Structure 1
Amino acid sequence: MKAAVLTDEQRLDWLQLIRCENIGPRSFHKLMLRHGSAAAALAALPALIRQGAGRKIAIASRDSCARELAAAQKLGARYIALGEPDYPQGLVHIDAPPPLICLRGDPGVFARPIVAVVGARNASGAGLAFTERLTRGFGAAGFAVVSGLARGIDSCAHKTALASGTIGVLAGGLDRPYPPENLGLIEAVATRGALLSEMPLGCEPRGRDFPRRNRLVSGLALGVVVVEAERRSGTLITARFAREQGRELFAVPGSPLDPRAEGTNDLLAEGAFMCRSAADVVDRLAPLARRGAASYGMLAEPGAGYIHEALWDEYDDDAPFVESQGAETRPIGIAAAPLAEKPAPAPIEQILGPTPLSVDELARVSGWTPAEIRMRLQELELEDRIERHSGDRVSLRQRP
């Protein structure tokens, strides 16, 4: 598709069409291919509604969409349409690409090679320490890091990549940051990297919105690295999308004794590439990165993208991505919060696992002071819950 910039009126047309109830990405693209423009598709919707074909369609209020555009501008964000120069190339080639993304930050980060780093919310100290090392290595190699701004591995990857380039994808609207304790981090990502969502402003994230977000996280990247994941972890949804989108999939091996490594070890058994260091990933992705935007098209399965009408299902088949977005939004601004404001640290016993860690490593990844850690370790030792190792390292005792 030839890159072009929409006029203000065309952008409003696009937003109104995608905000219509039960019009999701697939329906949007099919309407565009059939009618040639968002304005023509909107004009055709009343007749389609009268025919009663497919799901019930409710046309979004144009005034509410105009207010959403104005609220985005007030927030310091803007809407970028598929086909415009700043639209991320990785998303162009996924199934049902978002017609519009709401972006706050610098779109220049999309021009860099991108790798996704995802993992457990209840991450171990070893997992967090490895994520720091991994992300620093990606930054040094010129890669930007994308993740989902969740607790644990995602947050660690974003924090480490702030200086080298990071992209955060939200499951709700940009004015509904989630999780709340990451407000400072989310603000930092928006200021020093890029923050994006396909959801309307004012939209609170729901459970079904997180898989939708995950497909964007994997779609933006040349490859996805899974650091820790239990077998029923939502992180494995991102891994599944990576495979479906033709992205390279990497997994960090972990102890068979740690449930947080069961999912990653399963991925390795199923053919994911082993990630022992940043070099394992960079060496495999570097040839793709050198090809630039064309590499995403090579990774995608034949026919993926925006090109052929046969790709898109019937109007009533946008599930699971869109059931109802609603026409009305109630935008608010993100209340600025300093990055220094952090959530309460996780318990030391939650951070520990079978892999021994030093007190200094625990202090760096946990948020507790060394003195607080030593005091808690004494309590855990009295409870026979930890094992001590050489080099002032400790691990969680594994019960038979």
Structure 2
Amino acid sequence: MTAAPLDQAERFARLRLARTDQVGPVAFSQLLSRYGSACRAVDALPGLIARGGSRASTLPSVDRIEAEIEAGARLGATLIVLGDAEYPAALAAVDPPPPVIWTRGRSGLLAREAVGVVGARIASAGGQRIARGLAEGLGQAGLAVVSGMARGIDAAAHLGALETGTVAVLGGGVDDVYPPEHADLYARLIDVGCVVSESAVGARAQARDFPRRNRIISGLSRGVVVVEAEIRSGSLITARLAAEQGRDVFAVPGSPLDPRSKGPNDLLRHGAILCEGVEDVLRAFHTLPGLGEPPADPFVIDSGDIEAQVLDRIAALLSPTPTPRDELARATGLPIQIVAAALLELSLCGRASLLPGGLATA
């Protein structure tokens, strides 16, 4: 049964909730589950924040959200919020999915089965040739190619798949051309591909934005191929996120004498799928089931008001080490539904951070 389309008030409220301080994807999903709509969650949020120990609401103003929507309209960009029919099914299956994305170009590409191709910014000529040829072959096989528009392997992958369909995920806003020398590539992506961003229109990329960007690259993809990457590389973060999301991780092997081969070789050592060409990706996909529906969270319910003593008790048990909520339930003797609701309220006032998989930190 198809869900009813979101009305404009609910879509506006979802964008406003997504732009609220302390509301990341985990809290966003839990607030929707608890209140049934972003409109009701926005109304309840100031009280939740105050009850958690903070006096000031961090909701962005209506004017600020209207300005973002108007800026997107001037660009010809499309806003897609979680719950829209156009929201990519692969991304919706991520736990939890990004609350909102902006797109420019052919957003229909987001509905196609896709492969992420990522790697070193300072890539070898051979690595770039492999990435471009791999992307071209994947495109000819009917798959979209997703990457991050960075120098090196990312750019080569986009260029290889321009004719068949490629998606660039940006760290900054959907209008943030980074690096600047990729202005021509960006223009071609807008024309025949698609550009995606979770950030607000006009935002400039900062270091904290790239892990979120990498999470969307892997989330849009059925599998991720790492071509070249040093051991401490953002591409390996993308590979780790792909594994956590239940995606396939492929690695192109390389010479042990090249530091850029250490990342893929280490992935292979730990169970990644060997990728020497397009046929390795297609062979794996042929035997694997498609992505399922996003998992339901059985612990988020309308639990009513949480007493301040309960909030303080749970907050005292948190530390910088991620703690499972079922462990907190055992320690306090409280129902796990109450623990989940308390963690949500603590996160909204900055006393806790919610992580995927039911984990929380101080």
Asked if structure 2 preserves the Cα contact closer than 8 Å seen for 1:4 and 1:85, the reply is: no
Asked if structure 2 preserves the Cα contact closer than 8 Å seen for 1:120 and 1:235, the reply is: yes
User: How do residues 285-324 of structure 1 correspond to structure 2 at under 5 angstroms?
Assistant: 285-288=285-288, 295-297=290-292, 305=295, 307-310=297-300, 314-315=344-345, 316=347, 317-318=352-353
* Higher deviation after alignment, 256-265 or 183-192: 183-192
Look up the SS of the partner of 1:79 in the other structure. strand
In structure 2, do the counterparts of structure 1 residues 97 and 53 end up closer, same or farther at CA, with 3 Å as the change threshold?
Answer: farther
Look up the SS of the partner of 1:149 in the other structure. coil
Look up the SS of the partner of 1:131 in the other structure. helix
Deviations for 1:267-306, whole angstroms, at most 9, x for unmatched residues? 1111101001111111211354xx6xxx1128xxxxx645
Mapped partners of 1:308, 1:105: distance in 2: 37
Asked if structure 1 preserves the Cα contact closer than 8 Å seen for 2:114 and 2:223, the reply is: yes
Q: TM-score, normalised by structure 1?
A: 0.73
Aligned length in residues: 311
In structure 2, do the counterparts of structure 1 residues 54 and 29 end up closer, same or farther at CA, with 3 Å as the change threshold?
Answer: farther
In structure 2, do the counterparts of structure 1 residues 53 and 314 end up closer, same or farther at CA, with 3 Å as the change threshold?
Answer: farther
Structure 1 unaligned spans of 5+: 299-303, 322-400
| Cα displacement (A) at 1:86 | 1.2
Bigger Rg, which one: 1
Mapped partners of 2:52, 2:34: distance in 1: 18
Look up the SS of the partner of 1:314 in the other structure. helix
Asked if structure 1 preserves the Cα contact closer than 8 Å seen for 2:173 and 2:203, the reply is: yes
Instruction: Give the aligned partner of residue 332 of structure 2.
Output: none
Q: TM-score, normalised by structure 2?
A: 0.81
Instruction: Give the aligned partner of residue 150 of structure 1.
Output: 150
Mapped partners of 1:196, 1:83: distance in 2: 17
Structure 2 unaligned spans of 5+: 301-324, 326-339, 357-362
Instruction: Give the aligned partner of residue 95 of structure 1.
Output: 95
Instruction: Give the aligned partner of residue 9 of structure 1.
Output: 9
Mapped partners of 1:162, 1:183: distance in 2: 15
Instruction: Give the aligned partner of residue 106 of structure 2.
Output: 106
Mapped partners of 2:2, 2:298: distance in 1: 15
Aligned: 1:257 with 2:257: yes
In structure 2, do the counterparts of structure 1 residues 166 and 55 end up closer, same or farther at CA, with 3 Å as the change threshold?
Answer: farther
Instruction: Provide the identity percentage.
Output: 47
Look up the SS of the partner of 1:296 in the other structure. coil
Instruction: Give the aligned partner of residue 281 of structure 1.
Output: 281
In structure 2, do the counterparts of structure 1 residues 40 and 208 end up closer, same or farther at CA, with 3 Å as the change threshold?
Answer: same
In structure 2, do the counterparts of structure 1 residues 139 and 89 end up closer, same or farther at CA, with 3 Å as the change threshold?
Answer: same
Mapped partners of 2:280, 2:55: distance in 1: 47
| Cα displacement (A) at 1:234 | 1.2
Asked if structure 1 preserves the Cα contact closer than 8 Å seen for 2:26 and 2:354, the reply is: no
Asked if structure 1 preserves the Cα contact closer than 8 Å seen for 2:128 and 2:152, the reply is: yes
In structure 2, do the counterparts of structure 1 residues 219 and 127 end up closer, same or farther at CA, with 3 Å as the change threshold?
Answer: same
Mapped partners of 1:54, 1:155: distance in 2: 45
| Cα displacement (A) at 1:88 | 0.9
In structure 2, do the counterparts of structure 1 residues 155 and 57 end up closer, same or farther at CA, with 3 Å as the change threshold?
Answer: farther
Instruction: Give the aligned partner of residue 195 of structure 1.
Output: 195
Moved over 6 A (4+): none
| Cα displacement (A) at 1:113 | 1.5
Mapped partners of 2:82, 2:353: distance in 1: 18
Cα RMSD of the aligned pairs, angstroms, is 2.2
Aligned: 1:182 with 2:182: yes
Instruction: Give the aligned partner of residue 60 of structure 2.
Output: 60
